[in-house]
Structure 1
Amino acid sequence: MARRALPTTAAALTAAAALLLTGCGGGDKSSSDDIKGAGTGSGSPSASASADADAPDVSVPSDFHLVFDFDAPSDAKQASALSDAENYIRALKHGISKQDPNDPAYQYYSSGQAAQYAKSQIQAWVKGHWTVTGTDKYYAADVTALSGGKRELVTFCRNQGKSYSKEIKSGKILYTEENLDSYVKYQLLMFAPTGSSKAWKASVVEVKGKAKECQK
């Protein structure tokens, strides 16, 4: 069956990212299936989450599994930024599983456009009466320091070919065949912790669908 599109223009995300990257100092449509598998069904918490007593619950149903096949950067700041980029994905999936567009988990790991994006994704799943199931894989991560390490640009690929929607009432799994739509590329602009916060926050997220460069 076809993947369900949630209208969010990549051009708008790119413009927001460009503004942040070049001046403020401080495509394809993305779809409700473009973030169709975050949270961890069986894995251990990330290093960032385990070190932060205030970190929210980002667990997901036991039949949904996230795989983050990332090599941890040797730089401590970059490792933390990548860890909390993972947590942003986990938190978004947690919100979907809880059917809560105002879930505090994604708000803890994001702000601005990235928080709005997470909320809109969760709203689409709530409207469709779906939750997440299957296995979602993220890989080929890269982290680039910006503003002397106060910001980090995190990119990674995703294969959602084995991540599926499940109807909440009936329990029916809406299977799809793996194809080019299964491959997605993410770019997250992460801001260093400020004040009492210990988390890096995603401020801008750009999601590129049909990412041929992620096929492997």
Structure 2
Amino acid sequence: MARRTLTTAAAFAATATLLLTACGGSNDDSSDGIKGADTGSSSPSASTSKANSDAPDLSLPGDLHLVFDFAKPSDSKHAAALDTATNYIRALKHGIVKQNPDDPAYQYYSVGGAAKYAKSQIQAWVDGGWTATGTDKYFNADTANVGSTGVLVTFCRNQAKSYSKKIKTGKTHYTKESLDSYQKFTILMRPSPGSTQSWKAQQIEVQGRVKECQG
């Protein structure tokens, strides 16, 4: 995992526009948002979701599988930022499963634009009457310093096996793998005021149809 330094402007010139992206492979339907989640993960952060006594519940149903195929950064600051970024994704999934746009989980791990993004994604699932099932994979993580305190976290996503399921009927909408399955996440992480251990997702950008993630 590379470690780099970026200026804030260069790191997040395009972050003001939050991309609400459809999930799964091709032939997707009207449901918007990020799909798929689970307590199971290959990420080193999976066992630390509730490391703090006041951390929210991130538990998810057994038919959702969230996989973080990341190596832990050697830099402790970058490791903490990446860990919280993965918990932010888990929290977003938790809100989708709970059908709660005001879920305290994502509010615990995010502020500003990142919190607004999570709420809008969850709301889209609620409005569509959908929940999530399947396997959602995140991989190829990278971290870079932004200014004196921030860390920019980026990673790819393969949502080919992440599906939406109608809550009323229980019917799963399956999709096939295609370029639509691959996204790239860019998350600006900053430490909480007065803390070097607690981090928050501040801004997020999600790019769709990313060929570099398709590999």
Pick the TM interval, shorter chain. 0.7 to 0.9
Question: Retained in 2: the 8 A contact 1:143–1:155?
Answer: yes
Amino acid at match of 2:62: S
Instruction: Kindly report which structure 2 residues correspond to 1:151-190, keeping only aligned pairs within 5 A, or say none.
Output: 151-190=150-189
Corresponding residue of 1:30: 20
Corresponding residue of 2:190: 191
1:17 corresponds, among 7, 12, 15, to 12
Shift in alpha-carbon separation, 1:32–1:200, aligned structure 2, 3 A? farther
Once the two structures are TM-superposed, the CA of residue 36 in structure 1 deviates from its matched residue by 1.3
Question: TM-score scaled to structure 1, two decimals?
Answer: 0.82
Tell me whether 1:200 sits opposite 2:199 in the alignment. yes
Tell me how far apart the structure 1 counterparts of residues 21 and 119 of structure 2 sit (CA, whole Å).
Answer: 13
Tell me how far apart the structure 2 counterparts of residues 172 and 105 of structure 1 sit (CA, whole Å).
Answer: 27
Question: TM-score scaled to structure 2, two decimals?
Answer: 0.83
Corresponding residue of 1:82: 82
How many residues align? The count is: 195
What percent of counterpart residues are identical?
58
Q: Gaps spanning 5+ residues in structure 1: where?
A: 1-13, 21-26
Q: Gaps spanning 5+ residues in structure 2: where?
A: 1-8, 24-32
Corresponding residue of 2:125: 125
Larger RCO (CA under 8 A, 6+ residues apart): 2
Tell me how far apart the structure 2 counterparts of residues 155 and 197 of structure 1 sit (CA, whole Å).
Answer: 20
Instruction: Kindly report which structure 2 residues correspond to 1:64-75, keeping only aligned pairs within 5 A, or say none.
Output: 64-75=64-75
Q: Which has the higher helix share?
A: 1
Once the two structures are TM-superposed, the CA of residue 46 in structure 1 deviates from its matched residue by 3.0
Tell me how far apart the structure 1 counterparts of residues 127 and 90 of structure 2 sit (CA, whole Å).
Answer: 20
Corresponding residue of 2:138: 138
Mean CA deviation greater in 132-141 or 28-37? 28-37
Question: Retained in 2: the 8 A contact 1:142–1:156?
Answer: yes
Once the two structures are TM-superposed, the CA of residue 29 in structure 1 deviates from its matched residue by 4.6
